[in-house]
Amino acid sequence: MTALLLERRFLADYARTGTNLLLLLLVPVTFVLVAAPTLADAAEVLGGATGGASMETATAGWAAGFLTGIAMYFQVASSRATDRRLVLAGLAPGRLAAARLLTGGVLAAGATAAALVPLAARQSLSQPVRVVVGTAMFAVVYLAIGALIGALVPTPVNGSVLLLFVWILDVFFGPALSGSTSPLLRVLPTHFISLWTIDQPPGHAGPGTLTWSALWLVAALAAAHVVVGATPGRARGPASRRAGQLRTGLRMGVRDWGRTPLLWLLLAAVPAVFILLSAAITPHGISRVVVREDGVETTTLLDPAVIHPGTMAPEAIASLAALVGVFIVLDARAGDRRLVLAGQRAIVAVLTRMLLVLLAAAVVTAASLGVTATVFTAAQWGIYAWGSVLIAVTYGLIGMLLGPIFGRVSGVFMAFLVPFIDLGLGQSPMLGGEPPVWARWLPGYSGMRVLIDGGLTTGFDEGAQLAVGLLWVGALAVLVAVLLRRGFGGRPSARTTGESYAAGLRPGRNVA
């Protein structure tokens, strides 16, 4: 009974944020209805599952796993202090872990249903039992992965990046999309679940795909139960923050990052892994890419194995920059509000957060360029680098907008979803030669055209798009400044500072 009572409370807390429920509709529709045809084209280029029905079936599982993993991560990571108090008050850690996992089970069921509805609307399900069970297995495995990361990596930006890193590796280098037969890729969480769901042979001797899928489910849930149950006993309170004016604020922000070395490792490693793996698994062939040379648009035939590493990096750069933007704003929002109420200039607080986001974007871009240079030769490295920087800065600022608008859980969804639609589907030269009309209005279009111009041509013909990209950056910076200043409430007068500061500390006022 205790576990069921806690489960109801945990679910009520999740449903209290309306954008979480909105994303139960938005994410499956994006993957199953919008992205499935483009992903099918990508699978054909990369040698993956080429049947449309198979690819759409896999996208339902990816959407369910994505929704469940992120939701479960925040269920566990954001409740460490509360869970510790419950354990200290006498609740058995095993019951607490069971309640968390039961909550995750309900979230997994909701995510599975949300993913299957658009799939059923798009096509008739020839093997409904296999599709339903397979999609549910995706969700349950990511339930366990989200719980494990939430228990072991409490810092939201680190945990979110790590979870998305696992999910993107699993999807883009799994059997449905890449078609790779490398034994190393069999350790991906849903490798065997994907094969069973799309009814593909395993390609090796031994137990069948359903047996391996069941072993993954049992092992993942058992590990999550043990780790989640053990975590409350070693939970720690959040580190205190100190800030002054701009220089002091930057120093404190960088020092705070120094306490989380995993963040720097992930910012450098995530783009590197995707670039190197894309170089390793992309087959040779012919792709048509539209470029501008001497002011004239021409269609060039290029080998996808040669250009894929150079065009894979922008999506990783954009997603990471957006995630950092989300959490830099949310983690510092309460502290910045109190500093402004105590007399700090609001513009200094805004500039501090913007510069920290730019610093993180520079780290991601530098790591990406360093690895890209080992597997891709750009025609003009300077222009290629400027395109990468433009994309990183643009999406870092977009993340600063997404955080206050959507909050932590939904903000993480959007920080991945927006660059995925923009750069992964709309701008990628691997999928259509040139962007469709709708993609030309998205923020990544200008940066991607500059990057492609520098990577594939010997002259610079995208000056107009560089100017448009800088206008995007300027407009986004203004929007960020306005949004954050409104959140700070302006600079108070000396007479009211004490009253305002006390009001800012009331319970419930500073929840990110």
The pLDDT value given to residue 21: 59
Do 151 and 168 reside in the same domain of the chain? yes
Contacts with 240 (C-beta within 8 Å, 6 or more apart), sequence order: none
Q: In 3-state terms, what secondary structure has residue 296?
A: strand
Q: Which range, 28-32, 166-170, 409-413, is most confident?
A: 166-170
The pLDDT value given to residue 260: 59
Do 382 and 362 reside in the same domain of the chain? yes
Please tell me the distance from the alpha carbon of residue 349 to that of residue 332, in angstroms, as a whole number. Answer: 10
Please tell me the distance from the alpha carbon of residue 315 to that of residue 270, in angstroms, as a whole number. Answer: 11
Residue 492 has what DSSP assignment? P
Do 229 and 268 reside in the same domain of the chain? no
Please tell me the distance from the alpha carbon of residue 456 to that of residue 35, in angstroms, as a whole number. Answer: 26
The pLDDT value given to residue 24: 63
Average pLDDT score, the chain = 76
Do 147 and 294 reside in the same domain of the chain? no
Please tell me the distance from the alpha carbon of residue 480 to that of residue 485, in angstroms, as a whole number. Answer: 8
Crossing angle of the two packed helices 381-419 and 156-172, in degrees rounded to 10 = 100
| Mean pLDDT computed over 29-48 | 66
Please tell me the distance from the alpha carbon of residue 107 to that of residue 493, in angstroms, as a whole number. Answer: 47
* Residue 237 pLDDT > 60: no
Q: Which range, 10-24, 258-272, 367-381, 436-450, is most confident?
A: 436-450
The pLDDT value given to residue 502: 40
Q: Which range, 163-177, 222-236, 373-387, 490-504, is most confident?
A: 373-387
Q: N- to C-terminal Cα distance for the chain?
A: 31
| Mean pLDDT computed over 420-435 | 79
| Mean pLDDT computed over 227-245 | 52
* Residue 11 pLDDT > 60: no
Indicate if the alpha-carbon torsion angle 503, 407, 443, 280 is positive or negative.
Answer: positive
The pLDDT value given to residue 319: 85
Beta strands in 70-198, from DSSP E residues, in sequence order: none
Do 270 and 214 reside in the same domain of the chain? no
Q: Give which of 166, 61, 46 is closest to 118, Cα–Cα.
A: 61
Place of tokens 């409430």: 489
The pLDDT value given to residue 250: 63
Residue 342 has what DSSP assignment? T
| Mean pLDDT computed over 362-389 | 86
Do 221 and 369 reside in the same domain of the chain? no
* Residue 369 pLDDT > 80: yes
Cα 209 → chain centroid: 28
Lowest mean pLDDT among 46-50, 83-87, 172-176: 46-50
pLDDT tens-digit map of 153-203: 877 777 887 888 888 888 888 887 776 667 777 888 888 888 888 887 776
Mark which of 197, 216, 238 sits at the end of a domain.
238
Per the structure block, which two tokens stand in for 416?
A: 């991945």
Do 196 and 255 reside in the same domain of the chain? no
Domain that includes residue 38, residue range: 1-238
The pLDDT value given to residue 5: 55
Contact criterion met (CB below 8 Å) for 195 and 44: no
| Mean pLDDT computed over 289-304 | 78
Contact criterion met (CB below 8 Å) for 132 and 112: yes
Please tell me the distance from the alpha carbon of residue 59 to that of residue 464, in angstroms, as a whole number. Answer: 37
Mark which of 219, 238, 257 sits at the end of a domain.
238
Contact criterion met (CB below 8 Å) for 253 and 356: yes
User: Of residues 37 and 464, which shows the higher confidence score?
Assistant: 464
Q: Residue 241 — very low, low, confident or very high, per pLDDT cuts 50/70/90? A: very low
Cβ neighbours, 10 Å, residue 179: 18
* Residue 386 pLDDT > 80: yes
Please tell me the distance from the alpha carbon of residue 272 to that of residue 266, in angstroms, as a whole number. Answer: 10
Contacts with 233 (C-beta within 8 Å, 6 or more apart), sequence order: 84, 87, 93
Lowest mean pLDDT among 33-37, 303-307, 320-324, 454-458: 33-37
Q: Which amino acid is at 271?
A: P
Contact criterion met (CB below 8 Å) for 75 and 163: no
Report the number of distinct structural domains present in the chain: 2
Q: Residue 54 — very low, low, confident or very high, per pLDDT cuts 50/70/90? A: low
pLDDT tens-digit map of 222-232: 888 888 777 66
Per the structure block, which two tokens stand in for 336?
A: 């910045």
Please tell me the distance from the alpha carbon of residue 310 to that of residue 306, in angstroms, as a whole number. Answer: 8
Contact criterion met (CB below 8 Å) for 396 and 325: yes
CB-count burial class (<10 Å; 0-12, 13-18, 19+) for 264: middle
Mark which of 196, 220, 238 sits at the end of a domain.
238
Do 268 and 156 reside in the same domain of the chain? no
Please tell me the distance from the alpha carbon of residue 183 to that of residue 111, in angstroms, as a whole number. Answer: 30
Per the structure block, which two tokens stand in for 346?
A: 């609001």
Do 252 and 205 reside in the same domain of the chain? no
Do 363 and 258 reside in the same domain of the chain? yes
Do 227 and 293 reside in the same domain of the chain? no
CB-count burial class (<10 Å; 0-12, 13-18, 19+) for 39: buried
User: Of residues 269 and 211, which shows the higher confidence score?
Assistant: 211
Do 229 and 280 reside in the same domain of the chain? no
CA count, 13 A, side-chain hemisphere, 75: 38
Residue 495 has what DSSP assignment? T
Indicate if the alpha-carbon torsion angle 422, 41, 278, 204 is positive or negative.
Answer: positive
* Residue 306 pLDDT > 90: no
